[in-house]
Structure 1
Amino acid sequence: MSACRIGLIANHGKPGAAELVREIVAECERRALPLTLEAHTAQSIGAPATCSHDDLVRTSDLLLVLGGDGTILQVLHELCDEFRPILGINLGTLGFLTCVGAAAWRDAIEAIASGTYRLSERTLLDIEVVRDGQSLGRYIALNDAVISRGELSRLIKLNVIVDEANLSEYNADGLIVATPTGSTAYSLSAGGPVLTPNSGVFVVTPICPHVLTMRPVLVSDASHIEIIPSPREPDVFLTLDGQNSVRILAGDLIRITKAPQRLPLAMLPGMSFFEVLRQKLKWSGTAI
């Protein structure tokens, strides 16, 4: 079996990123692993920038991403439909999407070299914005789609319909529709539950609802979710994974379904979601 072709992308703004890139390059050379550096990553260590982002994605079997969750999300939104397995090495703080911390990068390289890493297939959101009966565009998101107010500090009214049945009109700071992967991101901070990656549901989480009995709601990921701002509502914003923002006008319709594609996230062998959860949220099981 031929060696896995690795594409390396680093957030060169993170402390220690350049040095880690050099160490990984040296280790891959020692192991004779095919490694290609993304142009900006190459420049960060003074190497020739020979590979464009598109070429890197097209010619790699796996993308090794150095950074945090934000870096992985940024890479995802640049992939278009060329979804490659992503293995993340965390240079940030929390990092639910990353496989290992920077100190354990050799474990990641060993898993790649031996082919023992496993893939966790993650559900994606498919989001469509419709205006006057015409589609303005379709987008994907790994974590969440967030509908929120603009510059003014005020409540917004959003009518939510699930499978053609009216769920509620939310009067809140905003609304989050999150995947299981995104349940540990903004939704968790807004009081939503933690979902396992294979739970097969989305969570609809209001942000600071005016009616305190409005709680997060789980819906099947086979559901069709429609969100309609109140006709009297000034402009609001749709934000996808905290990366891209779309201005939503009164009368627009936001449709959210499960995307046909899935993102394969690479994990070390033997690592479970619950182990990651305990580590990241510091659940010790003992009294504080």
Structure 2
Amino acid sequence: MIKKVAIFGSDNGRVTSDYAIQLLNVLLGHGVEVLLNKTLFDRIAAELPASVKSFSNLYHNRERADMVFSVGGDGTFLETITQVRDSGIPVAGVNAGRLGFLANIHDDIEGSITRILNGRYSIIERYLIELLEPPGIMGKTNVALNDITIQKADLNMIRIKVFVDDLYLNTYWADGLILSTATGSTAYNLSTGGPILSPGDDSIIISPLSPHNLTVRPIVLPGNSHLKLVVEGRSPEYLVTCDFRSVRLPFYRELEIVQPAYRLNTVNVEGQDFFNTLREKLMWGADPRN
């Protein structure tokens, strides 16, 4: 039974605040205790009842929530990962943005929340990807839900040597590489022509960004692969991203990328499915003449 819920929202827009208040009222109406992240709490404090508490970091919060609701778009959903990490707390996404592959509760908030509180939902375990080496460069966690990318930091192309389980795969002459999870396959990977994987797939996709050799195509690797990358180039540094976070690194430092042992539990409300989301968000089967 869901007794305590945390709501996380990072966007400063009024639309996000309105969605958060609507969600809050539905939860309180069902007798659920609610926590809000401090940024969101401070923004709408005047509209909150005294029973609502705030948190700064849910992962270290002593009051463990039974579920987390991310309010915003897919970007906010990705930020929520840093709040739950390996706690196993399931995350549901309320979409106040546009596309919303991850944040897929949008129109009928009250109906969706009622179904969740009545147990009419399933859990999708989503595989993650981790920048193991260098450690700690992204702050709290080097783990991504969507993708890790290596990109040039200026106009000069870079060279990326890739080894899979210590076996040499290729040297990519390109603007960069995307290393994507199944969840991230519908994000940046998709725009480069990479394949779409269903959410429960544990594979890792490597997709080149504007490769110099046009025969170089995306490749799908087993999820237990241990990847080592060495990045070379003419410039002093290159860019590494981990979902919404990014850092600049000097060339020739080895990167290690693996799949962490834990997964992210995401909430799938009864009546939703991945293929329906593809048809809706990507407009598959839609006739542009209508």
Q: Which residue is equivalent to 1:148?
A: 151
Runs of 4+ in 1 over 4 A off after TM superposition: 55-58, 135-138, 285-288
What SS does the corresponding residue of 1:100 show, helix, strand or coil? coil
Q: Which residue is equivalent to 2:17?
A: 18
What SS does the corresponding residue of 2:26 show, helix, strand or coil? helix
Render the CA deviation track for 1:245-282: whole Å, top value 9, x for unaligned: 23222221111111111001111113221111111111
Contact persistence 1:69–1:95 (CA under 8 A): yes
Cα distance, 1:87 vs structure 2: 0.4
What SS does the corresponding residue of 2:128 show, helix, strand or coil? strand
Q: Which residue is equivalent to 1:61?
A: 66
Which of residues 210, 229, 232 is equivalent to 2:231?
229
Which of residues 95, 98, 101 is equivalent to 1:96?
101
Matched, 1:110 2:111: no
TM-score by structure 1 length? 0.89
Render the CA deviation track for 1:116-148: whole Å, top value 9, x for unaligned: 121110001121224xxxx56571111000000
Q: How many residues are matched?
A: 280
Render the CA deviation track for 1:2-24: whole Å, top value 9, x for unaligned: 44311112244234222222222
Cα distance, 1:25 vs structure 2: 2.5
Cα distance, 1:224 vs structure 2: 0.9
Q: Which residue is equivalent to 2:267?
A: 266
TM-score by structure 2 length? 0.89
Separation in 2 of the partners of 1:231 and 1:24?
49
Separation in 2 of the partners of 1:125 and 1:16?
31
Matched, 1:121 2:125: yes
Letter in 1 for 2:113: I
Separation in 2 of the partners of 1:109 and 1:136?
36
Separation in 2 of the partners of 1:212 and 1:23?
50
Q: In the TM superposition, what are the counterparts of 1:203-222 in structure 2 within 5 Å? A: 203-222=205-224
Contact persistence 2:122–2:267 (CA under 8 A): yes
Contact persistence 1:228–1:252 (CA under 8 A): yes
Moved more, 32-41 or 256-265: 32-41
Cα distance, 1:165 vs structure 2: 1.3
Unpaired runs of at least 5, structure 1: none
